[in-house]
């Protein structure tokens, strides 16, 4: 009896920062769609002045593409939330391999995590890159505000399909940049609230 051939492992690459060029594996799972190098480069060019020393929250970590990139670019802390158990196991393995001690992994649904607790300390940068089939992700925008997850002038990145409606964001979130890339629309907002 022949053994089944092993499927080639899929890998991603850190494209910038201290760990530029390092590769890591990721799990192929339904809805998991790693941010492309082209979009990552654009996003981190937008955020290059604010990532070093920032507290970063990645709500739909998936492959860890955005989390590892922020870590490589000297974010002080990265909190990555992912609900797929297989993806979380891979993220934990990658964290150990990269020795990324400042990355904290949480297994669970980000909406549940955000609503079940208040943030101990607000985050400076938030990544919202949900599976394209997820129609309920917009509710996290209100949870970020109501549960104190955002720093006064936090940056919020949203990645979604081009054909979906522009999200309704709080009135004091200012659109800083946006870009189309293939079937993706990338938008970066800055929270501009004088009083909390």
Q: Kindly report the CA angle at 83 between 68 and 132, in degrees rounded to 5?
A: 80
Write the CATH number for 73: 3.40.50.150
Comparing CA positions, the residue from 120, 127, 71, 73 lying closest to residue 97 is 71
16, part of any domain = yes
Tally of domains within the chain: 1
CA atoms of 156 and 170, how far apart (whole Å): 11
pLDDT digits (tens, 9 = 90+) for 154-189: 999 999 988 888 889 999 999 999 999 888 899 999
pLDDT digits (tens, 9 = 90+) for 27-64: 776 666 778 899 999 999 999 999 999 999 999 999 99
Give me the residue label for tokens 């891979």. Answer: 90
pTM for the complete prediction? Answer: 0.91
196, part of any domain = no
Q: What range does the domain containing 110 cover?
A: 11-191
Mean pLDDT of the chain: 89
2, part of any domain = no
Quote the pLDDT of residue 6: 41
CA atoms of 59 and 88, how far apart (whole Å): 13
187, part of any domain = yes
DSSP 33: -
**196 pLDDT exceeds 70?**
no
6, part of any domain = no
User: Checking DSSP bridges between strand 55-58 and strand 123-128, what pairing results, if any?
Assistant: parallel
5, part of any domain = no
């Amino acid at each position: 009896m022949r053994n089944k051939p092993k499927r080639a492992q899929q890998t991603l690459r850190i494209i910038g920062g201290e760990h530029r060029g390092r590769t890591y594996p990721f799990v192929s799972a339904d809805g998991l769609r790693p941010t492309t190098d082209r979009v990552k480069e654009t996003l981190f060019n937008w955020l290059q002045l604010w990532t070093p020393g920032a507290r970063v929250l990645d709500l739909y970590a998936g492959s860890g593409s955005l989390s590892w990139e922020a870590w490589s670019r000297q974010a002080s802390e990265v909190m990555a939330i992912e609900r797929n158990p297989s993806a979380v196991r891979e993220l934990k393995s990658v964290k150990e391999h990269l020795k990324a001690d400042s990355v904290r992994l949480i297994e669970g649904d980000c909406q549940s995590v955000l609503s079940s607790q208040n943030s101990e300390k607000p985050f400076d940068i938030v990544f919202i890159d949900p599976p394209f089939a997820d129609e309920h992700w917009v509710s996290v925008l209100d949870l970020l505000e109501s549960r104190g997850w955002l720093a006064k002038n936090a940056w919020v990145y949203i990645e979604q399909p081009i054909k979906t409606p522009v999200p309704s964001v709080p009135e004091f979130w200012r659109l800083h940049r946006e870009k189309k890339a293939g079937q993706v629309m990338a938008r970066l907002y800055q929270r501009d609230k004088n009083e909390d």
